[in-house]
Structure 1
Amino acid sequence: MIGLKDALSILDQAELQPDVESVPLSRSYGRILAEDLVSAIEMPPFDKAAMDGYAINSRDKSQQFRVTGVVAAGDFPERAVGAGEAVRIMTGAPVPKGADQVVVREVSEERGGNVYFSSRNAARNICRQGEDVKPGDLILARGTRMGPAETAVAAAIGRGRLQVFRIPRVGILVTGSEIVSPGGSLKPGQIFDSNSTSIRTHLRQMGVDAVFARRVEDDPQCIRNALRNALEESDLVILSGGVSMGDFDYVPDALESLGVRLHFTRVTIKPGKPTVFGSHEKGFVFGLPGNPVSAFVVFEIMIRPFLYRMMGHVYRPRTVAVPMADTWRRSKVRRTTFLPVRLESGRAVIPDYHGSAHIFALPGADGLLEIPAGVKQLSAKEEVYVRLLGS
């Protein structure tokens, strides 16, 4: 058994070489950039009006200005603004030559072909050419995850296609003769499979669709055959169940018989102690405990960061510092413990929680609270750090 810090170190040191592909910008949401995105243009590409109003020369002290034209966004004025002249201009439109100020519509009155200003101040109301971005500026770094803001700036500098890291092929295997797919009916001793659904939803949250999700009986040959196929079809296999020390936990032996090198098989965490991680020449394997909260927690603290690394992204979960709502105690302190937490009125509230099988404690949880090994009590009002889920 190894500590959580050592397990995470092993995951961080695994050699990964993600492939690269080109995708249209319209399909880049959620993908990880495989290139530094550098601008080839200036932004704005011209001096443009920041407000609706009238473009004039700020040094012109005329009491009235003759309106010589209108410039809308998308136009490009060919005539310069002369003395005693103004051009009606719309937000985003190019500023005519000879003008260096836009007087806003709110202080303007146009009549008889002239415009009069009730007041003028020093505000220029012009976005200068190149004030946001210049050619050669780094817009987005390699490894950036593309979201709405990132796709917007890529579009703003004219990129129609992007180099991104290929999404790994991830397969899911759920072991257990007692497992039944949702929608079926239960016989005595059976339970519905929630883990494959949970894992698949975690993956979709990351922009990954599982290439398969299969259920396997608790039979050593069936498990070995399913694993052999899964290893061939996937870059990452995520198993649930069959990894502990029971009479029907065949997964670790089956993995080793197929040439998988097991880097760890137990970790000093709660829940999730019987967690397995292995590698082979074509990819990687995680074996998760069958209890649903264990599988959920291990995905969050181990698989999510590792899979993002496979996608070329350094994952940094968001945390918030909040006081404990109530005092929490435990009697056994040998393992690092993770608890579901709700954030209520700026405080960390630990819901009614019965242990690693109590999946009904997870809905409504905002994050996970990590209690290090050796810590016996968290006092009310004590500041703690909550790791936000799916961040």
Structure 2
Amino acid sequence: MITFNEALKTVKHATKKLEKEHIELSKCLNRVLAEDVVSTISIPPFNKSAMDGFACRQTDLAETLEILETIPAGTPPTKVIGKNQCSRIMTGAMVPEGADCVVMVEKSEIVDPNHVRFTDTKTKTNICIKGEDIQENDVVLKKGTRIKAQHISVLAEIGCAKPLVYQRVKVGVIATGSELVEPHETPGSTQIRNVNSWQLLAQLEKIGITANYYGIVADSKETTKEVIAKCIEENDMLLITGGVSVGEYDHIPQILKELEFNIWFHTLSVKPGKHTVFATRQGKYVFAMPGNPVSSFVQFELLGKALVFRLMGHDYKPAIVRLPISCDYKRKRTDRLEFIPVRLNANNQVIPVSYNGSAHINAFTQADGIMAIPREVDEYTEGEFVHVRQI
């Protein structure tokens, strides 16, 4: 049995990044940059007006100024600003030579069609200076960055239309268990509906991965082995739920050994999800989790995500907040690191959600995150700070 931190280090150590490819911006969301992105231009590329107004010299603000021209955005100025002169200018337009400020239109009075005076002789420059956001040759995004919407805007602005990224990981998902039926089916008296696969498919979709679903596999070692072999052939990574404990029908560890996988770990000092398997074979990866839905949900959040992103070149760091707990909390056993569902209230306090064990997924519908309770800690008092991983 290994600790969570040891398991996380193992996942990162045993995982190799996928190949690289250039892709269009429209397909970049949630992909990971495979190289630093260097800007070939300065942003803004010229001194531009921050607002509609009049471009002039600060020394002339108290005078009546001659209006030389109107400068729309996208059209270069044709006149140089001299003494007691100005040009009408639009937001985003290039500031003409000779001007060192822009007076907003709200602080102006038109004297006649060719002259203007200002109602306030104090003003900010209201000019966006060339390169004040990005300088030419700046590294604007680092290798390993997971691309979000705000990153796409920067890529577009500097003209990086086809960034180099790591390939998207191909993930297969299967559920094991003769007791399972699909959500649209009516379960028999000893059956239950398959929750885990649909939960995992949604968790993957949330991070930009559309997985291949291979359905439910009955508790037959031969059939399970055939399906796993097929999934491994067609994907980079396989997620399995069920069949990983020590029961008579828990065949997954033995099957993986027969398929010549190296099993890095099989049991974790973590609750929920003690029986979790990570195995590799020549660029193929298997992450197998318990059949209880809370266990599989939590273990994918803890380790599955790290594995997916590692393959795509990203060092995943979950959002973890440190906040006070709203009440006293006690637990009976302290031999494992435990994660429980919690809510966050309007006062930024942590409220434990009533929770009856790893088969009871309904508690997680009320949760904003999972609170980590370290080994050997048996209680928290109201107001004590705890760590919550947002989900």
Question: TM-score normalised to the size of structure 2?
Answer: 0.97
Amino acid of the structure 2 residue aligned with 1:364? Q
Query: In structure 2, how many angstroms separate the alpha carbons of the residues matched to 1:312 and 1:291?
Result: 30
Counterparts in 2 of 1:1-12, with a 5 A limit?
A: 1-12=1-12
Query: In structure 1, how many angstroms separate the alpha carbons of the residues matched to 2:308 and 2:255?
Result: 23
Gaps in structure 2 of 5+ consecutive residues: none
User: How big is each residue's C-alpha offset from its partner over 1:50-97, in whole Å with a ceiling of 9 and x where there is no partner?
Assistant: 121101122336621111211111111122122222111111100111
Query: In structure 1, how many angstroms separate the alpha carbons of the residues matched to 2:61 and 2:326?
Result: 65
**8 A Cα contact 2:20 2:167, kept in partner:** yes
User: How big is each residue's C-alpha offset from its partner over 1:301-341, in whole Å with a ceiling of 9 and x where there is no partner?
Assistant: 11111211111111111111111111111121111111011
Indicate the residue corresponding to 2:312 in structure 1.
311
User: How big is each residue's C-alpha offset from its partner over 1:193-237, in whole Å with a ceiling of 9 and x where there is no partner?
Assistant: 110011101111111111233210001101111111111111111
User: How big is each residue's C-alpha offset from its partner over 1:267-296, in whole Å with a ceiling of 9 and x where there is no partner?
Assistant: 111110010111111311011000000000
Amino acid of the structure 1 residue aligned with 2:239? I
Query: In structure 2, how many angstroms separate the alpha carbons of the residues matched to 1:186 and 1:277?
Result: 31
Query: In structure 2, how many angstroms separate the alpha carbons of the residues matched to 1:205 and 1:229?
Result: 25
Indicate the residue corresponding to 2:22 in structure 1.
22
Counterparts in 2 of 1:1-391, with a 5 A limit?
A: 1-60=1-60, 63-112=63-112, 113-345=114-346, 346-389=348-391
> Secondary structure of 2:267's partner?
coil
Report which stretch shifted further, 348-357 or 328-337.
Answer: 328-337
Identity rate, percent: 37
Deviation of the 1:111 alpha carbon? 2.9
Report which stretch shifted further, 133-142 or 123-132.
Answer: 123-132
> Secondary structure of 2:187's partner?
coil
**8 A Cα contact 1:231 1:282, kept in partner:** no
Query: In structure 2, how many angstroms separate the alpha carbons of the residues matched to 1:122 and 1:328?
Result: 58
Q: 1:77 to 1:249 in 2, by over 3 A?
A: same
Q: 1:213 to 1:378 in 2, by over 3 A?
A: farther
Query: In structure 2, how many angstroms separate the alpha carbons of the residues matched to 1:234 and 1:69?
Result: 63
Report which stretch shifted further, 116-125 or 339-348.
Answer: 116-125
> Secondary structure of 2:59's partner?
coil
Deviation of the 1:298 alpha carbon? 0.3
**8 A Cα contact 2:62 2:117, kept in partner:** no
Query: In structure 2, how many angstroms separate the alpha carbons of the residues matched to 1:154 and 1:210?
Result: 27
Deviation of the 1:36 alpha carbon? 0.7
Amino acid of the structure 2 residue aligned with 1:335? R
Q: How many residues align?
A: 389
Query: In structure 2, how many angstroms separate the alpha carbons of the residues matched to 1:190 and 1:61?
Result: 82
**8 A Cα contact 2:81 2:96, kept in partner:** yes
Amino acid of the structure 2 residue aligned with 1:295? S
Amino acid of the structure 2 residue aligned with 1:108? S
User: How big is each residue's C-alpha offset from its partner over 1:142-188, in whole Å with a ceiling of 9 and x where there is no partner?
Assistant: 11111111001111111211111101110011000011111111111
Amino acid of the structure 2 residue aligned with 1:52? D
Deviation of the 1:39 alpha carbon? 0.5
Q: 1:61 to 1:340 in 2, by over 3 A?
A: closer
Report which stretch shifted further, 325-334 or 185-194.
Answer: 325-334
Query: In structure 2, how many angstroms separate the alpha carbons of the residues matched to 1:178 and 1:126?
Result: 69
User: After TM superposition, where is structure 1 displaced by more than 4 Å over at least 4 residues in a row?
Assistant: none
Deviation of the 1:364 alpha carbon? 2.5
Amino acid of the structure 2 residue aligned with 1:126? I
**8 A Cα contact 1:25 1:162, kept in partner:** yes
Q: 1:79 to 1:178 in 2, by over 3 A?
A: same
Report which stretch shifted further, 344-353 or 187-196.
Answer: 344-353
Gaps in structure 1 of 5+ consecutive residues: none
Query: In structure 2, how many angstroms separate the alpha carbons of the residues matched to 1:109 and 1:314?
Result: 57
Query: In structure 1, how many angstroms separate the alpha carbons of the residues matched to 2:232 and 2:132?
Result: 52
Q: CA RMSD, aligned part only?
A: 1.2
User: How big is each residue's C-alpha offset from its partner over 1:242-283, in whole Å with a ceiling of 9 and x where there is no partner?
Assistant: 000111111111111111111111111111001011111131
**8 A Cα contact 2:15 2:307, kept in partner:** no
Query: In structure 1, how many angstroms separate the alpha carbons of the residues matched to 2:124 and 2:330?
Result: 61
> Secondary structure of 1:55's partner?
strand
**8 A Cα contact 2:69 2:79, kept in partner:** no
> Secondary structure of 2:223's partner?
helix
